[in-house]
């Protein structure tokens, strides 16, 4: 265990708080305050981008009310296709923070945010779906405070995920707004905003690692903190690092045990800081062509899941996350992928509690490798992977990183760029397998992954309406990939659109029967192959897309549940297939 002062952790160093915010999620206890600023904010679109010039950073004129968290697109009438910039304002009285360093932490603002407090610029952050903290002690007023945020959700080739991408680097479909990915580019403040007060020179970082060790495991705890004495307790008992635990105490889908880790920092006998964390102890890895959990082969059964719900857009709500993950468990699923970006932290809290195994994906969907702006996109993809790993590295539920989804491989630099992303993730966290979801498993670059995440649509985009051909095509593809690489394969996407209420006998494209039948047949093909370590149906629920002629009602209907979370036939079918698994 180390508890040397973190070099960045100096009272007047803004970087220290930013770093702390990334690594330690806010909490309220006797030493720390996390004051939730969610609620009704003031909002105004700024399509001409004149707000800066007009001084809106001191207060937004003629606003409308808007809920945070939430996207503005389905919330504010008329704003559906507007991607900003837009301005948000929230006034608050300073809660009793005492003599602590204070920052404002955003769970996610899509795509870029610039923040002012009482007219003073606090900073900015690029990239959605990942938290950032801006120190604000010096700008705080004792009474009322005016927090203003400019959010820019516009698309660009120099952003990740990229937008306005030339057609030769997309799947060849045209959307409005002009995205190269298949989900609506919702914009806004999508997750909690918190005013966070932490002790000066307190606990700034925590890193956990569980290692199998004979009949049990050893938990290593590394604490970064200011000067002083650090103590650890697990479930109320003092421990030191490494700490041995028996096998029955390990976390797994059948038994998602969480233990309460308490870290305390004392100076001269006085308690200075305290941080608590529910932790699951488990080990994820790959051996040969098997994916392992706690040293045993594990099979992932589940879905790709978007954060998407009517009116909220991509704004998160714990009730929606709880319903989704409870439904997954009820069906017999044990896993999901956070497609195509990191999911909300409260969703991961639920996954930890329910024993769901998560493939955590970065926002790097639709990467392409043409020269224009390439260094910028790669820099962002690397940065976002690092931010994701910093946020989620101590999570039991997260068992693998996916560093991209369906990168276009038609440029010579593609394989090297993917290799660099995988290596970077492994260098930051050597405790989990790394991969990227690909629809092009025969391209160079695949070897950079520890697990092959395969997106495949036989029976839909390929061989539509031909169920038997779809089965044999998937079988051949799996055997070929396995023969070439000898690695475990998780089928991270397969499925078919089913318009809710559309029925056909015999099964036909777009009907609930066809979707159910195709999913069942392909799962059976995978089940015959022990090197297939998982099947994730695309998708858990229907979700909004941009407008395009191939997306009726601007919805991707590959959900097993509707967008409102009502079951289609496929849900029943999956339940029959999955209900007898021991780790339900």
The count of other CB atoms within 10 Å of the CB of residue 242 is: 16
Nearer to ligand GCB, 264 or 307 (CB): 307
Q: In this structure, are residues 458 and 474 in contact, taking their beta carbons and an 8 Å threshold?
A: yes
Nearer to ligand GCB, 398 or 498 (CB): 498
Q: What are phi and psi of 95, to 5 degrees?
A: -75, 165
Nearer to ligand GCB, 329 or 551 (CB): 551
Residue 385, class by beta-carbon neighbours within 10 Å (0-12 exposed, 13-18 middle, 19+ buried)? buried
Among 46, 89, 114, 182, binds ligand GCB (CB under 6 A): 182
Q: Does 558 bind ligand GCB (CB under 6 A)?
A: yes
Closest alpha carbon to 381 in 115, 150, 158: 158
Nearer to ligand GCB, 263 or 452 (CB): 452
**Annotated catalytic, 346?**
no
Cβ 455 to ligand GCB shortest distance, Å: 4
Closest alpha carbon to 256 in 220, 294, 218, 219: 294
Cβ 367 to ligand GCB shortest distance, Å: 12
Cβ 295 to ligand GCB shortest distance, Å: 32
Nearer to ligand GCB, 111 or 184 (CB): 184
Which DSSP helix (H) or strand (E) runs through 240? none
Closest alpha carbon to 522 in 311, 305, 332, 301: 301
Nearer to ligand GCB, 340 or 568 (CB): 340
When computed from its CA atoms, the radius of gyration of the chain, rounded to whole angstroms, is 24
Site string for ligand GCB, 460-499 (x = CB under 6 A): ---------------------------------x------
Among 433, 556, 568, 570, binds ligand GCB (CB under 6 A): 556
What number of chain residues touch ligand GCB (CB under 6 A)?
Answer: 10
Cα end-to-end span (Å), the chain: 36
Site string for ligand GCB, 440-459 (x = CB under 6 A): ---------------x----
Cα(456)–Cα(492) distance, rounded to whole angstroms? 8
Nearer to ligand GCB, 189 or 474 (CB): 474
The residue with its CB nearest to ligand GCB is 182
Which DSSP helix (H) or strand (E) runs through 209? strand 203-213
Cβ 547 to ligand GCB shortest distance, Å: 15
Q: Does 361 bind ligand GCB (CB under 6 A)?
A: no
DSSP annotation of 289 reads T
Cα(455)–Cα(470) distance, rounded to whole angstroms? 14
Cβ 340 to ligand GCB shortest distance, Å: 6
Nearer to ligand GCB, 313 or 355 (CB): 313
Residue 435, both tokens: 């991969």
List all residues 6 or more positions away from 138 whose beta carbon is below 8 Å from its beta carbon: 120
Cβ 171 to ligand GCB shortest distance, Å: 8
Cβ 48 to ligand GCB shortest distance, Å: 32
Site string for ligand GCB, 338-357 (x = CB under 6 A): --x-----------------
**Annotated catalytic, 406?**
yes
CA distances from residue 185 to 69, 77, 83, 176, 354 in whole angstroms, order as listed: 16, 17, 8, 10, 30
Site string for ligand GCB, 404-443 (x = CB under 6 A): -xx--------------------------------x----
Q: Does 180 bind ligand GCB (CB under 6 A)?
A: no
Cβ 537 to ligand GCB shortest distance, Å: 11
CA distances from residue 186 to 46, 183, 370 in whole angstroms, order as listed: 16, 9, 26
Residue-by-residue DSSP string for 487-551: --EEEEE----B-TT---SS--TBSHHHHHHHHHHHHHHHHT-TTEEEEEEE-SB-EE--B-TTS
Q: In this structure, are residues 576 and 584 in contact, taking their beta carbons and an 8 Å threshold?
A: no
Considering the candidates 209, 264, 307, 493, report the single residue annotated as catalytic.
Answer: 493
Considering the candidates 299, 361, 406, 512, report the single residue annotated as catalytic.
Answer: 406
Q: Does 538 bind ligand GCB (CB under 6 A)?
A: yes
- Residues carrying an active site annotation: 406, 493
What is the contact surface with ligand GCB in residues (CB under 6 A)?
182, 340, 405-406, 439, 455, 493, 538, 556, 558
């Amino acid at each position: 265990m180390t508890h040397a002062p973190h070099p960045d952790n100096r009272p007047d160093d803004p970087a220290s708080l930013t770093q702390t915010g990334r690594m330690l999620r806010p909490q309220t206890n006797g030493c720390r305050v996390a004051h939730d600023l969610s609620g009704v904010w003031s909002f105004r679109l700024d399509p001409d981008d004149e707000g800066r010039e007009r001084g809106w950073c001191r207060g937004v004129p003629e606003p409308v009310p808007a809920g945070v968290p939430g996207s503005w697109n389905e919330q504010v009438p008329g704003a559906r296709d507007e991607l900003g910039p837009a301005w948000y304002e929230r006034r608050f009285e300073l809660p009793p923070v005492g003599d602590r360093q204070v920052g404002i932490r955003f769970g996610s603002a899509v795509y870029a945010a610039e923040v002012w407090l009482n007219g003073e610029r606090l900073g900015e952050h690029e990239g959605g779906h990942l938290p950032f903290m801006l120190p604000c002690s010096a700008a705080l007023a004792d009474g009322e405070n005016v927090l203003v945020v400019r959010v820019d959700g516009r698309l660009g080739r120099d952003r990740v995920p990229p937008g306005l991408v030339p057609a030769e680097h997309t799947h060849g479909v045209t959307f409005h707004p002009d995205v190269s990915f298949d989900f609506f580019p919702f914009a806004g403040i999508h997750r909690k905003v918190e005013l966070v007060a932490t002790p000066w020179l307190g606990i700034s970082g925590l890193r956990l690692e569980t290692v199998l060790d004979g009949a049990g495991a050893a938990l290593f705890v590394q604490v970064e903190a200011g000067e002083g004495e650090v103590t650890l307790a697990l479930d109320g008992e003092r421990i030191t690092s490494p700490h041995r635990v028996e096998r029955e105490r390990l976390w797994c889908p059948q038994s998602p045990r969480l233990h309460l880790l308490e870290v305390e920092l004392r100076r001269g006998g006085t308690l200075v800081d305290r941080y608590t964390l529910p932790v699951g102890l488990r080990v994820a890895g790959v051996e040969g062509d098997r994916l392992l959990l706690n040293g045993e082969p594990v099979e992932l059964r589940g879905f790709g899941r978007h954060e998407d719900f009517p009116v909220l857009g991509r704004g998160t709500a714990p009730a929606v996350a709880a319903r989704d993950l409870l439904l997954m468990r009820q069906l017999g699923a044990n896993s999901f992928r956070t497609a195509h970006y990191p999911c909300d932290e409260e969703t991961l809290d639920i996954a930890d509690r329910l024993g769901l195994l998560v493939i955590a994906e970065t926002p790097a969907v639709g990467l392409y490798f043409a020269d224009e702006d390439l260094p910028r996109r790669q820099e962002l993809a690397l940065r976002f992977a690092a931010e994701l790993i910093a946020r989620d590295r101590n999570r039991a539920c997260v068992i693998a990183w996916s560093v991209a989804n369906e990168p276009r491989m038609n440029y010579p630099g593609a394989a090297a760029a993917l290799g660099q992303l995988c290596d970077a993730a492994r260098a930051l966290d050597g405790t989990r397998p790394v991969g990227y979801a690909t629809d092009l498993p025969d391209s160079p670059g695949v070897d950079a992954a520890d697990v092959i995440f395969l997106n495949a649509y036989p029976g839909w985009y390929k061989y539509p309406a031909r169920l038997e051909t779809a089965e044999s095509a998937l079988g051949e593809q799996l055997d070929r990939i396995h023969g070439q690489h000898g690695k475990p394969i998780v089928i991270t996407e397969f499925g078919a659109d089913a318009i809710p209420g559309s029925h056909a006998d015999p099964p036909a494209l777009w009907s609930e029967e066809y979707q159910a039948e195709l999913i069942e047949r392909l799962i059976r093909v995978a089940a015959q192959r022990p090197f297939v370590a998982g099947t994730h149906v695309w998708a858990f629920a229907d979700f909004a897309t941009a407008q395009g002629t191939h997306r009726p009602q601007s919805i991707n209907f590959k959900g097993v549940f509707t967008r409102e979370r009502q079951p289609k036939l496929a849900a029943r079918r999956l339940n029959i297939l999955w209900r007898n698994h021991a780790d339900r």
